[in-house]
């Protein structure tokens, strides 16, 4: 951050503060971005009132900033500057080999790393499985993740409350909107809809465990 401090002393704390805020505001929702360096604006006499990043900030690198303000005569002015930014985010990394179709939840850990390219990162949910064989140390992308079993797949359902558990059968069905891409729901033979946690791949005898409120 020393470079940023030097830059702020040359450009004025107001511009550096506005630029840092613009970088944070433009960051992707699941990322942490910070301003590392800021070039002198093209029009140095334009005193900044507002700074806006021209693009979303997804990865470390250079970002163009639009600066709006007033000049020495009090007239509105617009100029530009380049910001150097650093972006970090949490990514899912496999802790061991994961076979295609295996659940990912027990074979990943979250690590906070600097990201230097835009990519479709994905943190798998409890029901997500591997879409392909993944070696240890793989940073998980959306293309590596299968969201869950196909609709209509027969599934054994274990409904539990306290020490009581009842086993029945159903079919995988669509979850209500808002449950998330990795939710697993089923429709029972009596038409009742339930949501639970998938305990292992269905094709290998995995069951849907449902905690009932009663």
The tally of domains found in the chain comes to 3
pLDDT at residue 55, rounded to an integer: 93
Determine the Cα–Cα distance for residues 51 and 14; give it in Å rounded to an integer. 10
Q: Give the pTM.
A: 0.64
The reply to whether 36 and 107 lie within a common domain is: no
The reply to whether 127 and 196 lie within a common domain is: no
Sign of CA dihedral 39, 6, 25, 22: negative
Residues spanned by the domain of 196: 154-211
The reply to whether 18 and 82 lie within a common domain is: yes
The reply to whether 37 and 54 lie within a common domain is: yes
Q: Which pair of tokens denotes residue 136? A: 């240890």
Mean pLDDT, to the nearest integer, of 39-49? 88
The reply to whether 204 and 132 lie within a common domain is: no
The reply to whether 30 and 73 lie within a common domain is: yes
How does pLDDT run across 109-143, given as a tens digit for each residue? 999 999 999 888 888 877 778 888 999 999 999 88
Question: Of 120, 146, 172, at which residue does a domain stop?
Answer: 146
Determine the Cα–Cα distance for residues 15 and 46; give it in Å rounded to an integer. 10
Mean pLDDT, to the nearest integer, of 103-114? 90
What pLDDT band is residue 179 in, cutting at 50, 70 and 90? low
The reply to whether 175 and 193 lie within a common domain is: yes
The reply to whether 15 and 37 lie within a common domain is: yes
pLDDT at residue 10 greater than cutoff 70? no
What's the mean per-residue pLDDT of the chain?
85
Comparison of pLDDT for 13 and 95, the residue scoring more? 95
Mean pLDDT, to the nearest integer, of 175-199? 79
């Amino acid at each position: 951050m020393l470079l940023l401090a030097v830059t702020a002393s040359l450009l004025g704390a107001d511009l550096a503060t506005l630029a840092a805020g613009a970088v944070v505001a433009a960051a992707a929702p699941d990322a942490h971005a910070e301003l590392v360096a800021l070039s002198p604006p093209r029009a140095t006499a334009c005193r900044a009132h507002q700074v806006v990043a021209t693009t979303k900030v997804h990865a470390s690198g250079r970002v163009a900033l639009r600066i709006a303000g007033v000049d020495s005569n009090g007239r509105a002015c617009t100029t530009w500057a380049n910001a150097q930014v650093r972006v970090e985010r949490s990514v899912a990394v496999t802790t061991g080999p994961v076979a295609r179709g295996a659940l990912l939840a027990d074979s990943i850990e979250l690590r906070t790393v600097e990201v230097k390219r835009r990519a479709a990162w994905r943190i798998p949910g409890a029901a997500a499985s591997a879409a392909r064989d993944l070696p240890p140390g793989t940073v998980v992308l959306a293309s590596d993740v299968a969201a869950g079993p196909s609709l209509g797949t027969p599934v054994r359902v274990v409904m539990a409350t306290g020490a009581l558990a009842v086993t029945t059968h159903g079919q995988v069905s669509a979850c209500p909107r808002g449950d998330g891409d990795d939710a697993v729901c089923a429709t029972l033979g009596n038409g009742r809809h339930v949501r639970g946690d998938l305990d292992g791949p269905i094709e290998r005898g995995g069951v849907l465990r449902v905690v009932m409120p009663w």
